[in-house]
Structure 1
Amino acid sequence: MTVNDDSFTNWKNREEIAESMIPIIGKLHRERDVTVLVHSRSLVNKSVISILKTHRFARQIAGEELSVTETLPFLKALTTLDLGPSQIDIGMLAATYKSNSRGLSVEEFTAEAVAGATGANKLERSTGRDVVLYGFGRIGRLVARLLIEKAGSGNGLRLRAIVVRGGGEADLVKRASLLRRDSIHGQFQGTITVDEANSTIIANGNAIRVIYANDPSEVDYTAYGIKDAILIDNTGKWRDREGLSKHLRPGVDKVVLTAPGKGDVPNIVHGVNQDMIKPDERILSCASCTTNAIVPPLKAMDDEYGVLRGHVETVHSFTNDQNLLDNYHKADRRGRSAPLNMVITETGAASAVAKALPDLKAPITGSSIRVPVPDVSIAILSLRLGRETTRDEVLEYLRGVSLHSPLKRQIDFTTAPDAVSMDFVGSRHSSIIDAGATKVDGDNAILYLWYDNEFGYSCQVIRVVQHVSGVEYPTYPVPAV
């Protein structure tokens, strides 16, 4: 048998194993609210090829290959346990077992590692929490996709309604079409039908009422059977407490803004400061996509090295706020053609750091350039550190943060030498550290942070909503602090 034959046979074997994993992963998710991960990447509703690619990507952050032959025994071991709602990382289980099994069997090791989610320790399954989207633009539609994807067992978050202004003839059909197909993020994974008589979009069995209103004051959500809902404002029209309070209508309990909040509105970057949300807080912000990209690595660097000062320069994809061709705009430069120009603009991300990291005393400045790409941006974070270090030390530390720390859902790490922006479309992390571009000289460090400013940010929004709704399930094995 030739080397080629050996490689192909090995591939077919791994395909067969990945195929056998799909029903196990699906059953755990539907029946027990268990999400199976590999190094923070969900395997729920993934194809055979996606499962194999997710395993292969482990080499980027763990430094070595991970095979489905290594993770399958841990997946099978989970089926023997009395599991409650949780997220379980079989990649981490396999890696930890390999480094220190302590003589335990796979079954014994798995039971010990996920003990917090089993038996008397397990959480009760949620009865569900209603969610309303106010606005249905770029972020609104991606958040909708994520909510539908995570509906899973029918528990957790339930997208009940979308509020938009009337758009004329065939409005509902057009909005459903925009949800179904996206030029950047591709086809919706599932089926979508339209019930025009009841003003409803049905996506993967989820009936989503489309409510037409020009102002929050026009809507009584209880009339649609909605109660205690979390409303996600994707319009950015209101950003202070007074304006956002307009949404606190019958049927709505909390309001989450997908833009930086002003005044005393808490700006939350999940993974960093979600624990500061007071139980009685009804209005909060998920900050900006750029704030979510820079705050987690900034916190990581401050925790290890101390940060004395910093500057962030963002090279940002263009947005709907800009013009396709030169035309009037209330902001001077944003009126110039977005697909044809680099446009210097401002960013509030640097000032927003103080809200998300109040203990960070270092001054952080920032500026931004919009460039002619439709999605994925990069933040160049230049830091003066509290002590001298080396490039190898920083990279090893950040690799560990992306793999083992409580920030591993926010921070990703790539060593790909030819990485470019389009490679990160669809990333669920809020920040991806480019190892090859990182520069360190004594107490100066420059980090290059890629981020999908649409999808990665939408994932952070969902994490905040899960947290305030009480359906943010714990992850096992527990990351080292």
Structure 2
Amino acid sequence: MTDAHTPNPSDWSKRIELAEQMIPLIGRLHREKNVVTSIFGRLLVNPSDIEIIKMHRYARRVMERELPLEDTLPVFQTLLELDLGTASIDVARLAVGYKKQGGDLRAYLEEQLADVIGTKDTEVQRDVVLYGFGRIGRLLARILVARETQGRGTRLRAVVVRKKCADDIVKRASLLRRDSIHGAFDGSITIDEDKDIIWANGTPIQMIYANSPEEVDYTAYGIQDAIVVDNTGVWRDRAGLSQHLKSKGASKVLLTAPGKGDIKNIVYGINHTDIEDSDEVLSAASCTTNAITPVLKAIDHRYGVEFGHVETVHSFTNDQNLIDNFHKGERRGRAATLNMVLTSTGAAKAVAKALPEFEGKLTGNAIRVPTPDVSMAVLNLTVKQDVDADEVNNYLRTVSLKSTLRQQINYIKSPEVVSNDFIGSTHAGIVDGLATIATGNHLVLYVWYDNEFGYSNQVIRIVEEIAGTRPRVYPPRRELSELD
């Protein structure tokens, strides 16, 4: 039986031709104007012709029909003619809006994008340093390299590590080039061993070997006013992390783990507006906190959360043992690839650092399981009113498509998806609609998350916010209150 929305196979060549015309336009918009484009929120980052066609088909989730490539191609072409500044532009929404309004396309786009036209000369570039080069560090490097443009935005300048062997830089480059979970690096990597530089798609990444932050003088490498992203997890309090501020050329520190004490734990999309110019040390919280906090905020806004329990089913991490061996933590000494390991999580309590209204409302535990990436959080909530599963799902689907939380929350309703399907997701969390349970005022939600790549994207969003280089989103998204 033929799907009514399935295109006639005879027009496939035409669709390929249109998609091929878009590829250089997408590249030029990014390279020349620092403009990231998307189709209903799905980013177009070095897409193939087939990926572009699939994204236009994805539009059925939003508008109940496939988006014709003929509608979006003129938008891409006209955007390239405009004097745009840094922005994240949803080409699909502009195409649909223009289709309804009609008239002159350029005039329509100039009206919709008025706030970002002519702003290029006011934009800056900010240096970023990665302190540590483990799982998260290498993914951050991939994202930063992919987003780099000439003269604007964030720029990865250096990586600081301890030298472990004579050919350390060769091994570091190899780990950046090949990843067992996330695949090969998209591009070219070469090494200048004499100068300790890894070249990634034309970006020179200076490898700096040091045993402590105080040893590093970033200005010796031409690095100034740098944001240092500490992904080692060695220090989590203000005293420890402030060591980075003693390095010449460093001005801000962001920790890729929950911060202790009075350090602000930032979940982008939730409390990133709390970042002040005077903040020198910040935390990006944990992957689990990033996954569940946006969903909890959305549910609390609509239904009111009285209390709840968060159970995370989490992939094993580097701090666990491959085989049974001594570990200072309870149960974590047992073989990670052979056991489900019950352990604790601070994510439930950490939610309150981003959403103070959840103080004392959540408990949590974690089960580490024998998978290398992608985790799940089960939110067992008591809310202030009776709820219906379909209504909750429709609301969360709308939030994922139309709200200011669209980059944090995704929604899927498929009977066949499993954890591997979410590797590479840029969202903080993905609600599994088919698993939603609602009985009276009791609600259970299942939220998938790529605890490596999804979290790394959240970290980069904070880096861009600190740097003042975060792209403005067009057309603007709605606040949760506007969805009521």
> Structure 2 length as normaliser, TM-score?
0.94
More displaced stretch, 335-344 vs 54-63:
54-63
In the other structure, the counterpart of 1:251 is 249
Structure 1 unaligned regions, length at least 5: none
* Match status 1:188 vs 2:185: yes
Closer, same or farther: CA 136–215 of 1 in aligned 2, 3 Å = same
CA drift of 1:460 comes to 0.3
**Residue among 215, 229, 234 paired with 2:231:** 234
Q: What is the letter of the counterpart of residue 192 of structure 1?
A: I
Q: In the alignment, is the contact (CA less than 8 A) between 1:61 and 1:399 conserved in 2? A: no
More displaced stretch, 297-306 vs 40-49:
40-49
* Match status 1:170 vs 2:171: no
In the other structure, the counterpart of 1:74 is 75
Closer, same or farther: CA 138–291 of 1 in aligned 2, 3 Å = same
In the other structure, the counterpart of 1:358 is 356
**Aligned equivalents of 1:305, 1:209: Cα separation in 2:** 50
CA drift of 1:113 comes to 2.2
CA drift of 1:372 comes to 0.6
Structure 2 counterpart SS, 1:131: strand
Q: In the alignment, is the contact (CA less than 8 A) between 1:39 and 1:92 conserved in 2? A: yes
Q: In the alignment, is the contact (CA less than 8 A) between 1:85 and 1:124 conserved in 2? A: no
Q: Deviations over 1:6-65 (max 9, x none)?
A: 833222211111110011111111111111111222213222122222333333455543
CA drift of 1:125 comes to 5.2
In the other structure, the counterpart of 1:88 is 89
Give the superposed CA RMSD: 1.9
Structure 1 counterpart SS, 2:407: coil
More displaced stretch, 267-276 vs 438-447:
438-447
Q: In the alignment, is the contact (CA less than 8 A) between 1:232 and 1:258 conserved in 2? A: yes
**Aligned equivalents of 1:441, 1:92: Cα separation in 2:** 36
**Residue among 330, 346, 350 paired with 1:348:** 346
**Aligned equivalents of 2:136, 2:307: Cα separation in 1:** 32
In the other structure, the counterpart of 1:41 is 42
1:288-307 matched pairs, under 5 angstroms: 288-307=286-305
Q: What is the letter of the counterpart of residue 137 of structure 2?
A: G
Closer, same or farther: CA 326–11 of 1 in aligned 2, 3 Å = same
In the other structure, the counterpart of 1:109 is 108
**Aligned equivalents of 1:413, 1:95: Cα separation in 2:** 22
> How many residue pairs get matched?
475
1:112-131 matched pairs, under 5 angstroms: 112-119=111-118, 122=119, 124=121, 126-131=123-128
**Aligned equivalents of 1:426, 1:24: Cα separation in 2:** 24
Q: What is the letter of the counterpart of residue 111 of structure 1?
A: E
Q: In the alignment, is the contact (CA less than 8 A) between 2:345 and 2:365 conserved in 1? A: yes
Closer, same or farther: CA 311–260 of 1 in aligned 2, 3 Å = same
Q: In the alignment, is the contact (CA less than 8 A) between 2:83 and 2:120 conserved in 1? A: no
* Match status 1:403 vs 2:401: yes
Q: Deviations over 1:196-223 (max 9, x none)?
A: 1001101111111111111112111111
Closer, same or farther: CA 18–180 of 1 in aligned 2, 3 Å = same
Segments of 4+ moved more than 6 angstroms: none
Closer, same or farther: CA 43–15 of 1 in aligned 2, 3 Å = same
Q: What is the letter of the counterpart of residue 158 of structure 2?
A: A
Closer, same or farther: CA 148–472 of 1 in aligned 2, 3 Å = same
CA drift of 1:435 comes to 1.0
Q: What is the letter of the counterpart of residue 310 of structure 2?
A: V
Q: In the alignment, is the contact (CA less than 8 A) between 1:375 and 1:452 conserved in 2? A: yes
* Match status 1:312 vs 2:310: yes
Structure 2 counterpart SS, 1:280: coil
**Aligned equivalents of 2:90, 2:96: Cα separation in 1:** 10
In the other structure, the counterpart of 2:285 is 287
**Aligned equivalents of 2:66, 2:314: Cα separation in 1:** 33
> Structure 1 length as normaliser, TM-score?
0.95
